[in-house]
Structure 1
Amino acid sequence: MKILTIILMGFVVTFCSPEQTLLETIKAQGELVVVTRAGPTTYYIGLEGEALGLEYELTQRFASQLGVNLKLIVATHYADILPMVVKQQVHFAAAGLTVNRERRELVRFSPAYQKTTHQLVYRKSMPNIPRSLADLNETTPLVLINGSSQVDLCKRLQQEYPQLTWQTVDLSPMEVLEKINTEEIKFALLHTNEIMQMQRFFPELQVSFEVADDELVAWAFPRTIGDDSLYVEAMRFLNQLRTSGELDRLIDRYYGHIDFAEFDYVDTRTFYRHVQERLPFYRKHFEQVGLLYNLDWRLLAAMGYQESHWNPDAVSYTGVRGIMMLTHATALELNIQDREDSIQSIDGAARYFLMLRDKLNENIPEPDKTFFTLAAYNVGLGHLYDAQQLARQQGLDPYRWVEVKKMLPLLSDPKWYRRTRHGYARGSEPVYFVNNVRRFYDKLLASLDVPVDADKQEIRIFSPQQQPTQYLSKPSQLPVL
């Protein structure tokens, strides 16, 4: 799966006149120029043409705070990013770059906003898997991305492991993982967050071992002399984002439903088998109901998979039944005659979902509101309200899922549920339910829809008020760096 790549522009960013600081110049010109890279951990275009990705959201918020447009340049190659910063062709890089001593000699980094580590990744069917650095030698074709921190790491490790050899490629992490999945590449060293994002879609990808300690992820700025205005403003912005809790919420949006500790290979393989064997019988029902109630049918399908694995005859030990596992009381309330009729079950679940969502506080933003609704669908509104109240008592934001999901498991602890109105609940279950629905939804997006055309190489400008507003010139008119 390839995502939009963009030809780099061969221009030098105009920094500032003697009378203006860099920050003042950026505000006067109305444009912040940032280089990134395409990928699920940084920046990508969603199915509706919307810009997504943690790095995009962070830089867009920063540009909005400055009151300027964001000009996001997507590097063709990983190795192009730092030279663009060093040559001051951009104001800074927001590309999931990790901090190490080699890079500190070239650029200066903002406060870190994430951390990751290095892992050796391979395809499950591959024989003779290396289990430690000592197993890596000239007979083990280790692949590294040119310009990545893994290259710096291996150069350092080679002093201790002189047999360590590798080859570099000008590919994105996602392209490397795709080639591992097709066995074009045998072994590669990549960051954990990149592997886990793609492992949901390529369940054959496996991790053998971790290499070195965690590395921090940060923005990279030029080492300009005498003008720290933009750098200081970025530091202030990131610190405010962390203090307000917004940074945690953004990270939760992209990583909160991914289990970094353990990947369930069997579960993922079973899901994709059911996509092929079961979903075709019910997809039209999900689509019809989604259209009727203006809901994403894939969200309904993800809920249905979590509830019954798309089995209309499913019955739980508590008596809920049908493809959407509705209770008898809910079915009566929704006037559903037959819970095991798939169209009635899906229609009822959609109406119940909307009914719950309408009862939630209007101050809850998306996508948190969807997560709250899913939790209420699983555990009931009363217990969700209890968890929100516990969040308030602990000084947490009751309108943010990243905060409330910490409180839900406490509803099974007498120390906590005795303080609540609705009492005991299996509070871990709604957290598990929401995480799984989010995972299944992501997998449906990847398995059912055509990816963005990777041959379209465009540079997009984002205003602080709205999503993509215009395109620059066609790539053939742009000089290549």
Structure 2
Amino acid sequence: MLGTLKHWKAVIGILLACSLSACQPSAEIDDLPPIDPNKKEIVFVTHNGPTTYYLNNENQPAGIEYELASLFVKYAFPDHEIRFQLVNSISDVIPTLLKGKAHIAAASLSVTHLREHLVIFSTPYQETQQQLIFNNEINQKPKDIKALIGKKITVPEGTSYEEQLANLQKKYDWLKWQSADRTNTESLLEEVADGLLDYTIADSHLAGLMQNYYPNLSVAMPIGPKDKIAWAMSKNSDPKMLAKINAFFSQIKADGTLRNLLDRYYGHNQRLNTLDVTTFLKRTNTLLPKYIHLFKQAQELTGIDWRLLAAVSYRESHWDTYNTSPTNVRGLMMLTEGTADLMGVTDRLDPKQSIPAGAKYLLKLIETVPARIPEPDRTYMALASYNIGYAHVEDARVLAKRLGLNPDSWADVKKTLVLLKNPEYYSTLKYGYASGGAPVIFVESVRSYQRILEKHQPGHNSELDKFKIARN
């Protein structure tokens, strides 16, 4: 479908008509059960995607919209159940609301002028920037928007990207694009990576995630001003529901819950550059196969997901069993002499000793971090301890509390870790100076490597799995 201002206005006109008349929705929406007024349940409509709702490696629901929705129901309607209506694409989200199939849309919806004619938006809870994405192996970065003349640009139908392109078309009347139905931004980004499309548009947080999987994706330029993301409801919704939603977002912004969730899902974005990802993907094919069985055995020994252990090993040694640092830290898991002695290792360069010893040491650190700290933050702090030592992580937690931050939140503790090199702070703490930026880089890199492995490598079932280790 050729994208033009006329076409986009026609789409909005159809949606408006649906809200005012008996417009026939898609079969998929018709198949969704309606809201039952006799049931104590809050129904959310969303769509599958890494920035909304998906099933994790344990086949359990995950995603920032899923977590926010679950928290909201516990906060505002503790005696109600929660139900999710999953639609095929973002273009089905607002029609599902307008057909009375859900109370709330939690689907990474940008607040746009045209959408505000259709629905009521909550207080925004996230900010994003639309970005034009291209394949850096095939195309050069465009110098300006005129370089897009004759290029193939495709975006999902019914998205805010269409609206932004329509706005640009008022100034650049030569601008054309394709609107694809029954697809999503992730699929179009994959097509760009595969050389099937010249360009697509993606929100910055999604583009950052996908660049970890496809290092040949690059940002050409920002498109328009920054967007606000919010929940949506139909205009005939109970005003009390909107008040509860806004109060909920106000609460989780104030107490740090929202900041922690955003960090959990997006905090590791942009930590790796194109060369990092390219090299890592290459070595997962050439070096990792030699050691997968050892990482899986280490998972059986400790209950820690083998992909997290492999990610730690790669960040430490790049899977080079002979790797030795100037401070004599050695082997696949880069064990110090003291750690090796503690774990009973006689040869740090032997992968059969190094990998299980590193896994047992990480488990020991996880068990050292206070049990009240929820996952995945507990594991993140253990990973930081693996890099810099538990004592300095504890200093950072003490400092976080002094500064009015949450000492049990990785999103806050990583802010104070970097302050441990500042005399103003470290001189007041028990264990003194530390290069606190290093463990932050270490943890965020490990998170990125783990996520890439989870996309490309299956999990390993182990009867001894003890922890739900960080998945994002």
- With the shorter chain as reference, the TM-score category is 0.7 to 0.9
Paired residue type of 2:232: A
Deviation, structure 1 residue 80: 1.3
Question: In the TM superposition, what whole-angstrom CA distance separates every residue of 1:161-210 from its partner, at most 9, and x where no partner exists?
Answer: 11111110011111111111222222112211121111111111111111
Residue 77 (structure 1) shift: 2.5
**Which amino acid is the alignment partner of residue 121 of structure 2?**
F
Specify the code of the residue in structure 1 equivalent to 2:222.
Answer: E
Matches within 5 A, 1:440-459: 440-449=449-458
What count of residue pairs does the alignment treat as equivalent? 430
Residue 128 of structure 1 and its aligned partner are, at CA, apart by 5.7
**SS of equivalent residue, structure 1 residue 284:** helix
Q: Which residue of 2 aligns with 1:358?
A: 367
Q: Deviations over 1:328-362 (max 9, x none)?
A: 11111222111111111111111211222222212
Question: RMSD across aligned C-alpha pairs, in angstroms?
Answer: 1.7
Q: Secondary structure at the match of 1:219?
A: strand
Aligned equivalent of 1:174, options 157, 165, 186: 186
1:11 Cα deviation (Å)?
5.2
Provide the residue aligned with 2:152 in structure 1: 141
- What residue number does 1:54 align with? 64
Following the alignment from structure 1 to structure 2, what is the Cα–Cα distance between the partners of residues 366 and 351?
18
Question: What CA distance in whole angstroms lies between the structure 2 residues aligned with 1:294 and 1:383?
Answer: 26
1:87 is matched with 99
Tell me the equivalent position of 1:468: none
Determine whether 1:194 maps to 2:206.
yes
Per-residue deviation, residues 51-107 of structure 1 (Å, max 9, x unmatched): 111111111112233122221111112211112223332112111000111111111
Answer with 394-403 or 121-130: which moved more: 121-130
SS, match of residue 347 in structure 2: coil
Change (3 A) 1:211 1:337: same
Corresponding residue number in structure 1 for 2:298: 289
Partner SS, residue 39 of structure 1:
coil
Pairing 1:264-279 to 2, within 5 Å after superposition? 264-279=273-288
Q: Which runs of 5+ in 2 are unaligned?
A: 1-26, 460-472
Q: What is the one-letter code of the residue matched to 1:421?
A: K
Asked whether the equivalents of residues 94 and 219 of structure 1 are also in contact (C-alpha less than 8 Å), the reply is: yes
**Hey, what's the Cα distance between the residues in 2 that align with 1:11 and 1:267?**
44
Q: Which amino acid aligns with 1:49?
A: N
Residues 184 and 420 of structure 1, relative CA distance in 2, 3 Å threshold: same
1:217-246 Cα distance to aligned partner (Å, 9 max, x none): 000111117x31211111111111111110
Q: Distance in 2 between matches of 1:279 and 1:304?
A: 10
Q: TM-score, normalised by structure 1?
A: 0.86
Of 125-134 and 165-174, more deviation after overlay is shown by: 125-134
2:444 to 407, 411, 435: 435
Secondary structure of residue in 2 paired with 1:339: coil
Matching residue of 1:164: 175
Indicate if the aligned counterparts of 1:136 and 1:163 stay in contact, CA closer than 8 A: no
2:465 match: none
Distance 2:144 2:115 in 1: 26
- Decide which of 360, 370, 386 is 1:377's aligned counterpart: 386
Who is 1:308 aligned against? 317
How many angstroms does 1:125 deviate by? 2.4
Matched, 1:245 2:256: yes
**Do residues 45 (structure 1) and 43 (structure 2) align?**
no
Deviates more, 1:380-389 or 1:64-73: 64-73
> Partners of 1:291 and 1:127 in 2: how far apart?
46
Deviation at 1:129, TM superposition (A): 4.8
1:466-477 equivalences under 5 Å are none
1:108/1:221 contact within 8 Å kept: yes
Give the letter for the 2:297 counterpart: Q
Taking the aligned partners of 1:96 and 1:242, their CA distance within structure 2 comes to 17
Amino acid at match of 2:191: K
Report the alpha carbon displacement of residue 371 of structure 1 after superposing the two structures with TM: 0.2
Give the Cα separation in 1 of the matches to 2:439 and 2:28. 44
Give the deviation of 1:293 after TM superposition: 1.5
Q: Which amino acid in structure 1 is aligned with residue 138 of structure 2?
A: M
Equivalent pairs: percent with the same residue? 35
SS of 1:213's equivalent in the other structure is coil
CA distance in 2, matches of 1:87, 1:414: 60
Counterpart code for 1:87: K
Matching of residue 101 in structure 1 with residue 113 in structure 2: yes
Cα separation, 1, equivalents of 2:67 and 2:163: 28
Q: Judge which range, 346-355 or 301-310, deviates more.
A: 346-355
* Contact 2:141/2:220 (<8 A) preserved: yes
**Residues in 2 aligned to 1:7 and 1:315: alpha-carbon distance in whole angstroms:** 58
TM-score after normalising by structure 2:
0.88
Runs of 4 or more off by more than 6 Å in structure 1? none
Match of 2:166 in 1: 155
Matched, 1:258 2:269: yes
Contact 1:92 1:221 in 2 (8 A): yes
Correspondence 1:126 to 2:135? no
Bigger relative CO (Cα 8 Å, ≥ 6 apart): 1
Q: 1:131, 1:209 within 8 Å by CA — same for their partners in 2?
A: no
Give, in angstroms, the shift of residue 7 of structure 1.
4.3
- Deviation (angstroms), 1:45: 0.8
1:78 equivalenced with 2:90 (yes/no): yes
1:127 shift after superposition: 3.3
